[in-house]
Structure 1
Amino acid sequence: MAEFELIKEGAFDRDDALKRRNERVASFARPYREFAKNYQATGPLLAAVNVALSLGRPLLLTGEPGSGKTLAAWWIADRLQLTDHVHEFNVKSDSRARDICYEFDAVSWYRKSQLAKDLNGAEVPKDEFLRPGPLGKAFGWRGAPPKLPSVVLIDEIDKAPRDFPNDLLLELDQMRFTIQEIDKPIICPADVRPIIVITSNAERRLPDPFLRRCVIHRIELDISVSKRILTARLKEFDVPNAELIEAAATFWVDLGLKPLARKPTIDEFWRWLALATRHGGKPAAAIVAALKIPSEATRELPFIDTLFSSPADLKAATGGA
């Protein structure tokens, strides 16, 4: 474990610790566009993607957190060589549907209008205070006409206010919107219709009029998919041990049968496994043996408690008394 430790009790070399920390972070904290290259799409997901592309409809991806919904959008962009044409909109509890199309800086406009009124009574046009949102950029508004379609990612739409999905029906169906402040219609050129990917953690039900305009797919991670994910990710860390991957995939899938407060996501799990095998101070054979035996031995796995919210959860997961 000494090799793993960056911060230690007593004196230690800060510069060496930060150097080793940066080396590790460079492997784990990479942008989506890099992780997308080894994304493992299932057959049903691939079919849903091709249907959505063919129909020009938004692809709505659901599934457990960490199942790869957001990364799927980047994988689509990677496969179509469009990673430089991805526009993201991260939905928040106060998001408005208009924000996906454009933004209007009403406060700055009002201040400048008041100043102009006091000076000479001139009217300040609103146009200079308008900025394109992700959909506006994909349409080519306020920029060079697009030569290629963009991928527009609307992430975690279930966080949005209740009316948010229904306020996007025209925009997503007809690919047009109106800038209300200047009464200007913006229409997307037909040959660069954007590829819309929407994700949802299903925290609340989305309205039927919105759902019927989407191609819907739920990402499911069975043991075969889990093996593919672990194989692809651990290969990046020079951990090609087939027996380790088999034991780890079985262990992770079986966690779904345990009375856990929260099952670790596959993303959390492969990161833990990569860290444990590279810096955990135990040989791969010892980790394999522990993963195969859901008992007190499993509790000795390096850093395993970081995957569970409490010792009680860990005990329940590993079958401990």
Structure 2
Amino acid sequence: MNKLKIDFKLSEFTGQRIEAKAKDYILTPELQSAVKVAIALGQPLLITGEPGTGKTRLAHKVAYDLSQNNENLIEKPFVFNTKTNSVASDLFYTYDAIKHFHDANIKHKNENCHLDTSKYITLQALGKAIAFASDDESIKEKYLEEKIKHPQSSVVLIDEIDKAPRDFSNDILNEIENYQFTIKETDETIKKSSEEKIIVILTSNSEKNLPDAFLRRCVFFHLPFPKKDELIEIIKLHLGDTSKYAKDVFVDYFLEVRENMLKKKPATAEFISWLKVLELEKFIENDENIDFDNLTKKQENILKISYSLLAKTEEDLKENTNF
């Protein structure tokens, strides 16, 4: 048996990725309406759906589109990536107590030395958004690196909120409703001005883990798996309009494979990655029409390799590579 090496040239893999831009995100009329209602009511928009269906990218789309017609709105969202140990204050700011204590120990001999506690405070996603929207110039000068002349509106993404402990959602209700918070270490309260807007978008793989009180205060939208024509448009955005792989035959095959998956069905992200691998491996050598029931040996081998992107369990992998 020949000994194989991982001796690829990294330069072979440059230029393979086409990043989808925020402006190109495909909005359905229903999703557009949900965004509009959330903005009109001043309520958070909670988006659920399968992993990989574009929940996170929606916030980037909303921020970009709104910034084109509202010069006072920041073009990119402030993002908070929820963790299993997240607490409510993490959404607003973090306090570096260790560094503060360390610096205090070094300088304790100097009786005239005063350490400014605010220097150890770092604003996080929603905290930044509120500070940007504040009309308190001293707050902005103290806590924002960016120098801004006027209060600014923004979009805040709280990603995968269902990861956090159940208390997290309830603990942020008041702050999200009033768009103000207090830094307890400095006893300062930061609040947005009445003129600015903060649009909060939350994503979750399921609404089941969220408290009822929290759900009642949100505009809810479930992002369904894209339809066939929508998948074609998504492919073109990621692979280019002229890609040989932006064809019905690949969508139909993927949807059939997806239906056969027993444990975990592949989502849009896996579909795009799968097509990129087929393109990289030159699954289509010329401009021939692909018939998945009549593949060459080379194409069968490529297809088997590519299934590692679609199947995420041994059972699904075996079930779908039996050809």
Superposed, which structure 2 residues align to 1:1-321 within 5 Å?
9=4, 17-24=9-16, 27-28=17-18, 30=19, 34-81=20-67, 84-120=75-111, 124-139=115-130, 140=132, 141=140, 142-143=143-144, 144=148, 146-202=150-206, 205-221=209-225, 222-235=227-240, 238-239=242-243, 245-283=247-285, 288-290=290-292, 299-302=300-303, 303-307=305-309, 308-309=311-312, 312-317=315-320, 320=322
TM-score for the superposition, normalised by structure 2: 0.80
Query: How far has the Cα of 1:114 moved from its partner?
Result: 3.6
Query: How far has the Cα of 1:201 moved from its partner?
Result: 1.3
Query: How far has the Cα of 1:75 moved from its partner?
Result: 1.2
Work out the CA distance in 2 between the residues paired with 1:111 and 1:64: 45
| CA contact 1:169–1:210 (8 Å) conserved in 2 | yes
Work out the CA distance in 1 between the residues paired with 2:261 and 2:12: 37
Work out the CA distance in 2 between the residues paired with 1:309 and 1:293: 26
| CA contact 2:64–2:76 (8 Å) conserved in 1 | no
Structure 2 counterpart of 1:314, one-letter code: L
Work out the CA distance in 2 between the residues paired with 1:11 and 1:53: 51
Query: How far has the Cα of 1:298 moved from its partner?
Result: 8.5
Q: Deviations over 1:223-265 (max 9, x none)?
A: 33323322433325x3166xx5222222333334324322222
Work out the CA distance in 2 between the residues paired with 1:311 and 1:206: 31
Structure 2 counterpart of 1:64, one-letter code: E
Tell me the equivalent position of 1:5: none
Query: How far has the Cα of 1:123 moved from its partner?
Result: 5.8
Distance 1:9 1:116, change over 3 A: closer
Distance 1:250 1:91, change over 3 A: same
Distance 1:249 1:124, change over 3 A: same
Q: Deviations over 1:28-73 (max 9, x none)?
A: 5x4xxx5323212222211111111211211111100001000111
Q: Secondary structure at the residue paired with 1:190?
A: coil
Query: How far has the Cα of 1:208 moved from its partner?
Result: 1.2
Query: How far has the Cα of 1:186 moved from its partner?
Result: 0.8
Q: Secondary structure at the residue paired with 1:288?
A: coil
Work out the CA distance in 2 between the residues paired with 1:161 and 1:115: 37
RMSD value, Cα: 3.1
Q: Deviations over 1:8-44 (max 9, x none)?
A: 95797x6xx22222232xx25x4xxx53232122222
Distance 1:182 1:288, change over 3 A: same
Could you list the runs of 5+ residues in structure 2 that have no partner in the other structure? 68-72, 133-139
Work out the CA distance in 2 between the residues paired with 1:246 and 1:223: 8
Q: Secondary structure at the residue paired with 1:41?
A: coil
Query: How far has the Cα of 1:311 moved from its partner?
Result: 6.2
Structure 2 counterpart of 1:247, one-letter code: V
Q: Secondary structure at the residue paired with 2:200?
A: strand
| CA contact 2:49–2:224 (8 Å) conserved in 1 | yes
Q: Deviations over 1:240-298 (max 9, x none)?
A: 66xx52222223333343243222221121222133135324347667311x789x998
Work out the CA distance in 1 between the residues paired with 2:29 and 2:6: 53
Work out the CA distance in 2 between the residues paired with 1:166 and 1:107: 28
| CA contact 1:74–1:83 (8 Å) conserved in 2 | no
Query: How far has the Cα of 1:218 moved from its partner?
Result: 0.9
Query: How far has the Cα of 1:199 moved from its partner?
Result: 0.8
Name whichever of 175-184 and 79-88 sits farther off. Answer: 79-88
Name whichever of 97-106 and 146-155 sits farther off. Answer: 146-155
Work out the CA distance in 1 between the residues paired with 2:286 and 2:205: 34
Distance 1:176 1:195, change over 3 A: same
Distance 1:284 1:87, change over 3 A: farther
| CA contact 1:85–1:149 (8 Å) conserved in 2 | no
Query: How far has the Cα of 1:112 moved from its partner?
Result: 2.8
| CA contact 1:87–1:153 (8 Å) conserved in 2 | yes
Query: How far has the Cα of 1:136 moved from its partner?
Result: 2.1
Work out the CA distance in 1 between the residues paired with 2:312 and 2:6: 31
Give the structure with the larger helix fraction.
1
Query: How far has the Cα of 1:204 moved from its partner?
Result: 5.1
